[in-house]
Structure 1
């Protein structure tokens, strides 16, 4: 066998390196400039000017109340943009918006103008209509969905809310109720009564809440019906089984891990003792608990009507057979990473870490997830030093989680500070760092300076955060550094 010429070997090596770099670049998170307070600044200013409250009422009091509610909606949305509740990512946004465009092309009479879409960073499996042709899609929905058809149904449902003016009509109804003689009389009776004021007040709001929830159910049914029409007109398959899948959407953290909790840490040379996985305290709250008792959650906890009922009402309109168009892997992966990073920034460390371990269970070998395990453990150590470890964990009730999640959560609570510090040092020298890019290496240095440097005070932490943001101006991790600078100023 002839030896491979040197120039061919060099060419092959170059192709491998280029391919790896391209793949790494393709899977990168968004840039700092894609946070909504920067990316949507112009749109935010335009919306504030464009969303002028219409003069729907001759009665001054009702019109004034209506304007307050209208402006409150505007402030909610523009405030969410300013607070970076939304994010832009080219791959994820383009994919979702392409489905909206497909629906619009088939429904020009219903949707003459393209809607304004934002990606909400929430892990909740949901989407929502803001009104005024604006819809938001949660990253949690994109990560949960399996097919294009599943996302299309949710989008069509929310577009239907806007078409049917549900948000606008709801604001009108609220303004009319709060300025009605019935409401005023009820409130006067509450104020005039000597006893039972709280009970009377509850009845006033229960009557309004009941009326509102009753109409809300009608609104959801109407939106489902119109959504089926929109999908049919756009030649997108409708599968009512999506509603049954949504019925399990609250069960994410009920999923067990494929390995014992301590095995995931052993890969980094970190030892987790069994005693840390069990509650040491005594009492009724720590009695033996069977995690199989709560395999389902009450559907009333969800924001929409009963999912089984929605399935039964729409199953006659099912497309047969139903094509399954998988969501591109890069869209799912980026949505999952953005979710995990946002949960980390919001200090929900236990659910954040559990999602990382579930990604590993799915065979994901991306070293970014190793990077996040490092970040979570160092942040936990930092929180412990600041005396708010428990708050940073993001404790979840037993009824909503699996036995594995409970053990992981308990471990984060009970691992001794000294052992936690040793684990952090071990993770700082783990082998995966050789595969990380400059911005991750820089974040490692930042976390080391704020969590492991015993001499670090607020001034030094601010200096380290400022140094990171100045060096890595486009890094998404600059968001954490910004929050760190804000915290040290308090």
Structure 2
């Protein structure tokens, strides 16, 4: 009996720690780029002065326009909170950059500025001027440190070889060239087939650029492998093939019928809500592609296959790979889901949550987000813009399950949505939610269910939230109603 009490105490301590870990805030409102990078943005604008490269005024003027467009893109993205500087995901990615730079000092004399883009797109990109951007989508998608390091090394290579800067020069030179002007004037002077002629002018430039881009990708891959080797980070060409599956997330199948995910919360459900009721071609029976074998799709993208074939002989044999910490994966996934919700793209947001549940994820934050999605949908319906909030994806790009979920969000009756909101408000998971999540619940209840639907009432509720939770990341959502 003397051992029972300590064991129970230890068990309760473990449960408590897990609960704290699950409910810890993802980031603070002050981590958003408009706040965090305010000083850097001002200094960046001053530092990014367009160099005088061309003696011809026309070319130099066009080059400066393109240069300034890049600066405006970056500063606009900072102001628009496209980037996030949280303590864990940022530090993990930045740590990989440090590792690569330290081992390649001659090639990378100065550590680049890293920006974490909140986009769910499985991508990263080099901006030139020693700046690289890594999307949350690629962090969530990559399985190992080595995979993510390859992506980073690839983007570092683009900057090392000045690909972004050279692309701007090429564009300025083409748009001010005699050939371009001659072709454009021929289009303007022609009486017939102007559109076809204009397309040929554009295609000439596009084809030339695409050839250079493919060459640049191959160059960046080769240099990336060198950077990895010097850093003692294993390279595996298989990742190029796996990247081909990155764009089919909404073509995946769920493990159980859509109905089961809702009845688990004691929510009433009718199968008819997932079936098109309107008439017309859009309701015609559609044969969805079988995407259960994700691996089969890995061989369909010629660029990925080409890159794989060129580099497969360089794959490190017998190498051991390091899994990306589950906490980093989880946080990246949550942050991109929250970003999708803030942008009111509700179907993809909810589908990702259901995929997490399929993986056995029991984190109650996802239950909290499901409540936000349902309440957000009811609010959008109340404001007469339900269709926009759903984030419709054409069915040719989705699985049957995704399409049914999208149809459900379109067709579920308003009174049922209201009942969903009220039922979820009393769900058991709220007892484990932190104060900021409970405050968000109150805000959403006011927006969606309060009989007083005036802007004044919404502003009052939003200001109450931001005043009491000024560091919460949910302030980003609340501020939309305080402006």
* Pairwise same-fold verdict (TM > 0.5): yes
**Matched residue, 1:414:** 411
The 1:470–1:300 alpha-carbon spacing in structure 2 relative to 1, beyond 3 Å, is: farther
Listed one character per residue, the Cα deviations across residues 421-452 of structure 1 (whole Å, up to 9, x for unaligned) are 11111011111100101000000000000101
**Matched residue, 1:228:** 225
Aligned mate of 1:364, from 361, 365, 374: 361
Q: Which aligned pairs between 1:11-160 and structure 2 lie closer than 5 A?
A: 15=13, 19-20=17-18, 22-24=20-22, 27-160=24-157
Distance 2:446 2:187 in 1: 58
**Matched residue, 1:247:** 244
Distance 2:282 2:9 in 1: 64
Preserved contact between residue 244 and residue 300 of structure 2 (Cα < 8 Å): no
Query: SS state of the match for residue 256, structure 1?
Result: coil
Distance 1:210 1:204 in 2: 10
Distance 2:152 2:26 in 1: 24
Distance 2:459 2:299 in 1: 45
Query: SS state of the match for residue 247, structure 1?
Result: helix
Give ranges in structure 1 of 5+ residues lacking alignment.
none
Preserved contact between residue 299 and residue 306 of structure 1 (Cα < 8 Å): no
Matched, 1:448 2:452: no
Distance 1:18 1:451 in 2: 33
How far does residue 23 in structure 1 lie from its aligned partner after superposition? 2.0
Aligned mate of 1:310, from 307, 310, 333: 307
Distance 2:271 2:19 in 1: 40
Distance 1:414 1:378 in 2: 15
Preserved contact between residue 135 and residue 159 of structure 1 (Cα < 8 Å): yes
Listed one character per residue, the Cα deviations across residues 270-320 of structure 1 (whole Å, up to 9, x for unaligned) are 111111011112332222222126788999998xx7100100001111111
Preserved contact between residue 245 and residue 298 of structure 2 (Cα < 8 Å): no
Q: Which aligned pairs between 1:249-398 and structure 2 lie closer than 5 A?
A: 249-292=246-289, 306-398=303-395
Preserved contact between residue 275 and residue 404 of structure 2 (Cα < 8 Å): yes
Query: SS state of the match for residue 248, structure 2?
Result: helix
Give ranges in structure 2 of 5+ residues lacking alignment.
none
Deviation larger for 441-450 or 451-460: 451-460
**Matched residue, 1:189:** 186
TM-score, length of structure 2 as denominator length: 0.95
Q: Which aligned pairs between 1:193-232 and structure 2 lie closer than 5 A?
A: 193-232=190-229
Distance 2:402 2:417 in 1: 19
Listed one character per residue, the Cα deviations across residues 127-186 of structure 1 (whole Å, up to 9, x for unaligned) are 000111100001011111100010011001000000000010001111111111111111
Distance 1:450 1:301 in 2: 46
Distance 1:448 1:159 in 2: 46
Query: SS state of the match for residue 195, structure 1?
Result: coil
Distance 1:406 1:17 in 2: 38
Preserved contact between residue 241 and residue 298 of structure 2 (Cα < 8 Å): no
Preserved contact between residue 346 and residue 391 of structure 2 (Cα < 8 Å): yes
TM-score, length of structure 1 as denominator length: 0.94
Aligned residues: 481
How far does residue 484 in structure 1 lie from its aligned partner after superposition? 2.8
